[in-house]
Structure 1
């Protein structure tokens, strides 16, 4: 045998070095299994058990969005009694006085490659939307069968606003809220319909990359109008903000 070659060692040699039936090896295997289970539970349990999320820090967050959320009043006795969508006068009043429909104002702001009905017109007839809720690109064309592909969403839904304080407002303030560009987004029509009037406790955009901005804007709107949140809503918002440290409230 060459002095420079290592002698061949059979697999039996290695089985003697690591024997899964040995006491030390069994302990190591149990430690690995316990670690995997611990990591899995730590990631999943906060999502299904609110109390566990609080214990594991799943509802801790930093940034102005989290700070603002923690200042909002929590009210778990909200009611939709008396709600009337028309009381917010969406698109029925020109609150900013520019002579344009609120829908067209938002389309002009949120779409790219915007084309108008004619020079000097407010009416948007086409454009491209990078939809924040789904991440899809939508080619918008105004028309009886096509306009609904892009809808204008109230980030804080009107019914949610009603339940969280708007039911006590004078008509002028409800009209302002219903047409406030800060609370309006051009979005994918089906996604908007799916959301309905749900709060963050029950609906979030399927585009996970936008969830932090979405929740932060809801918080900004609720702070601007001094609206309340439910405890479930607050927990859901904190769980989202936990994933994006330092998240800021968007500027109005």
Structure 2
């Protein structure tokens, strides 16, 4: 399987218990996740400064994000012909061979107060609490009938990626993309369903304070994987990044 592109994207706090190596350490191809990407291109405009301050970015981070955005090709969306989830490989593979599937790796990374199932080598998450970045709400996760209240979102949706370059990739690269934690977040299930396969032009997180970090994450992931954006998407990403709160 080819090495994943090196990406630098917003971080999430982790409530994983000690004992099992963190997903961040067991994925050698993943860089330390940052809060954003940056640039000293003038003071950003903030609609909701208090909310945005919960997800601040540095000036250097923002400059890097703006550079990545400038480098993204802008062109029309390709047809969705031939797309299927299966084109991106098996759902939640153990691509890093750490003995745990990607879904549980992300749950351990993004939830706090995590309780793990005994006998699973610290893999399967039974319970935890999600501080949801998309809605700003707190969600109690419990494995079982209500597990869907917390879902793992592809920040750059697979169908969106398919229409903007991924249909020309190898099977291995698509599987790597689908399981890359740089492009995955544990989020509110209903918000994830409303997003669907939308890009930044059609959907942004309801929590305005997270839109900067979300736009930066989409931008660097697309740039790292060589995807393109539509003009409307480029405009939406630019607007969100312009409203980032910068930490001095």
Q: TM-score of the superposition, structure 2-length normalised?
A: 0.72
RMSD, matched Cα: 1.5
Alignment length, in residue pairs?
185
Q: Structure 1 residues 102 and 66 mapped into 2: Cα distance closer, same or farther (>3 Å)?
A: same
Considering only CA atoms, is the larger Rg found in Structure 1 or Structure 2? 1
Instruction: Identify the residue that residue 76 of structure 1 maps to in structure 2.
Output: 76
Runs of at least 5 residues in structure 1 that lack an aligned partner in the other structure: 1-61, 248-252
SS across alignment from 1:121: coil
Specify every segment of 5 or more residues in structure 2 that has no aligned partner in the other structure, as ranges.
1-61
Q: Does 1:122 align with 2:123?
A: yes
Q: Structure 1 residues 77 and 111, CA, compared in 2 at 3 Å: closer, same or farther?
A: closer
In structure 2, what is the equivalent of residue 100 of structure 1? 100
The answer to whether the Cα contact below 8 Å between 1:117 and 1:123 also exists between their aligned partners in 2 is yes
Spell out, residue by residue over 1:47-86, the C-alpha distance to the aligned partner (whole angstroms, 9 max, x if none): xxxxxxxxxxxxxxx6221221011111114221111111
**Structure with higher RCO (Cα < 8 A, 6+ apart):** 2
Distance in 2, matches of 1:227 and 1:213, equals 19
Q: Secondary structure at the match of 1:118?
A: coil
1:21 maps to: none
Aligned partners of 2:152 and 2:187 also within 8 Å: yes
Aligned to 1:157: 157
Q: Which residue pairs with 2:171 in the alignment?
A: 171
Q: How many angstroms apart in 2 are the aligned matches of 1:245 and 1:207?
A: 14
Q: For 1:198-237, what aligned pairs fall within 5 Å after superposition?
A: 198-237=198-237
1:89 Cα deviation after fit: 2.1
Distance 2:90 2:207 in 1: 26
Query: Is 1:140 paired with 2:141?
Result: yes
Offset of residue 147 of structure 1: 0.2
Q: Secondary structure at the match of 1:198?
A: coil
Using the alignment, how far apart are the partners of 1:214 and 1:65 within structure 2?
Answer: 11
* Matched-pair contact (CA < 8 Å) for 1:90–1:178: no
Question: Does the aligned pair in 2 maintain the 1:108–1:124 contact within 8 Å?
Answer: yes
Distance 1:78 1:65 in 2: 25
Find the counterpart in structure 2 of residue 33 from structure 1: none
In the alignment, the residues of structure 2 paired with residue 217 and residue 115 of structure 1 have an alpha-carbon distance, to the nearest angstrom, of 28
SS of the residue 2:71 aligns to: coil
- CA-to-partner distance for each residue in 1:153-212, whole Å, 9 max, x for gaps? 000000001011100001000000010010000000000000000000000000000000
Q: In structure 2, what is the Cα distance between the partners aligned to 1:186 and 1:150?
A: 6
- Tell me, yes or no, if the aligned pair for 2:73 and 2:228 is still in contact at 8 Å: yes
Structure having the larger proportion of residues in helix: 1
Q: Secondary structure at the match of 1:70?
A: helix
How far apart, in 1, do the equivalents of 2:177 and 2:232 lie?
A: 24
1:246–1:68 Cα change, 3 Å: farther
